[in-house]
Structure 1
Amino acid sequence: MSSSTRAAGSGLRSYLAAHPLASYAVRRIGLYLVELWGAVTVAFFFFRMIPGDPIQTFIQTLQQNYVYNTQASAEVIARYRSEFGLDGNIFSQYFHYMYKVLVEHDLGPSLLNYPTPAQDVIMRALPWTVGLLGLSAVLAWVFGLLAGALAGWRRGRPGADLVTNLSIALSHVPYYFLALILTFIFAYQLAWLPARSAYDARLSPGFTPEFIVSLLRYGLLPSMSIVVIGVFSWLLSTRMLMVPVLGEDYLTYAQAKGLRPRRILTRYALRNCYLPQVTAFGISLGFIFNGNVLVEQLFNYPGLGATLVNAIQILDFNTILGVTNLAIFAVLTANLILDLLLPLLDPRVKYWR
């Protein structure tokens, strides 16, 4: 190793030692890249080992729906296998897939809508899932955090105990089960809300008042199924963090100074609760996405969940891996951003080793 290389390495180590926050960020980003590569690799081999031949299924569909020359089937199958990255052994398929994704930014064609690229199919469904899942997850976290803080602050009172017991009973109910109950009540019994689809089929998508109202009306039931269960879950965890804090000396001192209870709750007690809840929010995104798949399928919502289910039914590997890797990337990136923001919320994180 040359002296210049050793000097550069020593200079980098000295810089990171002198800047703990930069050292923390470098470690977190490095761990993020390793986790991302490992998760994508595991997903690729898992789905490729599923029994079945998607090309044969695709050829049979062509034979049933179109004029198809069976004598040229061998050449056609070979071309399709090459186009979909299914020729060669599984390791060569893996390196070919990683090269296409990382270098050419191409997921390959989608069997769901051949020859449309899989990324186009995914991008058409992505806004629906982001609008439903993203907004619902944020609303559930905010309302659950505030409700949990109030339930812990007013512990022992009838209203707080009732909300806490109700949360214990309902926090573990699956999203799709609550979706079925809400659909039965509000769509079939009361006929207040539509049961399926994302908007009125008679309207054309666009930024018009009629379409926006239809969008909100059709999305209310699936979003309620996610928000309600999420609020109960966040309420319990926030209350669990709030109750031990109430006995701390600094809160007693704040009360002795004559500070208003609202100020003590928001500026002192709640501040020590939302730090771990910020990290937990990023971790929970993966579980919310899993439940959202069934919710979208139940309401025939044109998001990534319904796209993933349809792709699995015909073994559309390119679309399956695209949706799965997008979910992996979103969850890991959200956790990375939250980890990088923690030193700004809690100065003690800067000196993490």
Structure 2
Amino acid sequence: MIFLARRLAFYFAAFFLAITFNFLIPRLMPGDPSDRIIASFQGRLNESQVAAIRQSYGLEGSLWEQYLTYVGSVFRLDFGISTVQFPEPTASLLFYGATWTLVLVGLAIALAFTIGSIMGIHAAWNRGGFFDSFFTPINVMMNAFTPAIVALVLFYAFSLQLRWFPLGRAHDPNLMAAFNFQFIGSVLYHATLPVLSIFLVSFGGWHLGMRNVMINLLNDDFVILARAKGLSDNRVKYRYVARNAILPQITSLALSVGYMLGGALVTEQVFNYPGLGKFTFTAIGSRDYSFIQGQLLLLTTAVLVANLLSDIANVILDPRLRKG
């Protein structure tokens, strides 16, 4: 519990630091979010109307007052108003895009981590065999590609040329959102290529990581003792070696969340998928500071939460941390 309490305090401090940087960086840039809205009215606004617009973006008062207002609005999940889709609240756009990005990245991470780790276990246990010699070099090669390259190739081959998959959207526009097989099937069908593009460039890393850690553990004393006691290969492989080797994998999983979300930004743009990536590219081009701020804070929060969950999983799996 002491370990988790310390980690929780660290992540809470990191979250406040992220809020502070997120507040300061746009204010160090020339102009502010309200300038674009005010300029679009071409001088037809009076002083009270200009002040109301600036107040809606939290730009009234001293810098310290603006900071306190911003911190309070963050904890209320109020990220301001989008300048691209004025007067749509930024929070509604963020959570809509985050829902689809979570579907995309969640499926890709789950598949890549599970399949890659299982392949790594078998490659390490049969080191030098056909499975290890054939798949390990292929995964090293796939791990060198970027999500953007793989996404473009898949989109060109299977969407533009073969037309096996749609050109965009998260589901059939003729279907209403509902928890039924037809809608879920449509969501999975539209997400197939984006998920595949992220999966192909990431599962090799989990394979190599699991393989290397397991190889280092195979000659440890506890493994030699387990074999000397006559335990079955499967029990030694999974209960003894893989259980210890999975701990660094879980830590790497938490650290990879930011990379995965970054890769999803490009992937969503290629496949015209309505996630955070597509909205972020539009926001950057239109200087929608409110959305960019909210997206960066959401990304930071996702990474911090993933690391906290990783620490909790390590405490559950590693008795040494519980005793410490």
The reply to whether residue 77 of structure 1 matches residue 53 of structure 2 is no
Where do residues 1-353 of structure 1 align in structure 2 (5 Å cutoff)? 22-61=1-40, 70-72=43-45, 74-88=47-61, 90-102=63-75, 104-352=76-324
Query: Structure 1 residues 176, 34: closer, same or farther in 2, change over 3 A?
Result: same
SS in 2 for 1:57: helix
Aligned letter for 2:72?
Y
Write out per-residue CA displacement over residues 220-269 of structure 1, whole angstroms, 9 at most, x where no aligned residue: 00000111222111111111101111122332333344433222211111
Do 2:143 and 2:201's aligned partners in 1 also have CA atoms closer than 8 Å?
Answer: yes
CA distance in 1 between partners of 2:309 and 2:172 (Å): 37
- The aligned amino acid for 1:130 is L
- CA distance in 2 between counterparts of 1:308 and 1:130 reads 15
The answer to whether the Cα contact below 8 Å between 2:33 and 2:290 also exists between their aligned partners in 1 is no
Report the Cα distance in structure 2 between the residues aligned to 1:48 and 1:165, rounded to whole angstroms. 48
Q: Retained in 2: the 8 A contact 1:109–1:116?
A: yes
SS in 2 for 1:290: helix
Question: Deviations for 1:90-109, whole angstroms, at most 9, x for unmatched residues?
Answer: 5443232113223x442222
**2:45 alignment partner, SS class:** helix
Which amino acid letter does the alignment assign opposite residue 186 of structure 2? Answer: S
Asked if 2 retains the 8 angstrom alpha-carbon contact of 1:55 and 1:81, the reply is yes
Shift of 1:76: 3.3
Q: Quote the Cα distance in structure 2 between the aligned partners of 1:54 and 1:40.
A: 17
Q: Which runs of 5+ in 2 are unaligned?
A: none
Count of residues in Structure 1 that have an aligned counterpart in Structure 2:
324
Aligned residue for 1:306, secondary structure, equals: helix
Equivalent pair of 1:167/1:233 in contact (CA under 8 Å): yes
- Residues 189-238 of structure 1 deviation map (CA, whole Å, 9 limit, x = unaligned): 32211232212233333234332222111110000011122211111111
- Amino acid in the other structure paired with 2:35: Q
Structure whose CA Rg is larger: 1
Q: Residues of 2 paired with 1:60 and 1:273: CA distance? A: 58
The residue type paired with residue 11 of structure 2 is Y
- Partners of 2:122 and 2:19 in 1: CA distance: 41
Q: Distance in 1 between matches of 2:46 and 2:40?
A: 13
Deviates further, 292-301 or 82-91: 82-91
Change in CA separation of 1:229 and 1:112 when aligned onto 2, cut-off 3 Å: same
In 2, the alpha carbon distance for the partners of 1:155 and 1:48 equals: 55
Distance 2:313 2:209 in 1: 21
Distance 1:225 1:83 in 2: 40
Matched position secondary structure for 1:231: helix
SS, match of residue 33 in structure 1: helix
Cα gap change, 1:166/1:324 in structure 2, threshold over 3 Å: closer, same or farther? same
Cα deviations by residue, 1:303-342 (Å, 9 ceiling, x for unpaired): 1222222222222222222221122112112211221332
Checking the alignment, whether the CA contact within 8 Å between 1:48 and 1:317 is kept in structure 2 is no
State the TM-score, normalized to the length of structure 1: 0.84
Contact 2:77 2:91 in 1 (8 A): no
User: Is residue 40–residue 328 contact of structure 1 (8 Å, CA) maintained in 2?
Assistant: no
Report the residue type matching 1:331 in the other structure: V
Query: CA 1:26 to 1:250, structure 2 compared with 1: closer, same or farther past 3 Å?
Result: closer
The 3-state SS of whatever aligns with 1:205 is coil
Q: Secondary structure at the match of 1:302?
A: coil
User: Equivalent residue for 1:14?
Assistant: none
Q: TM-score, normalised by structure 2?
A: 0.92
Q: SS at the partner of 1:122? A: helix
Aligned counterparts of 2:193 and 2:236: Cα–Cα separation in 1: 37
Q: 2 CA distance for matches of 1:105 and 1:184?
A: 39
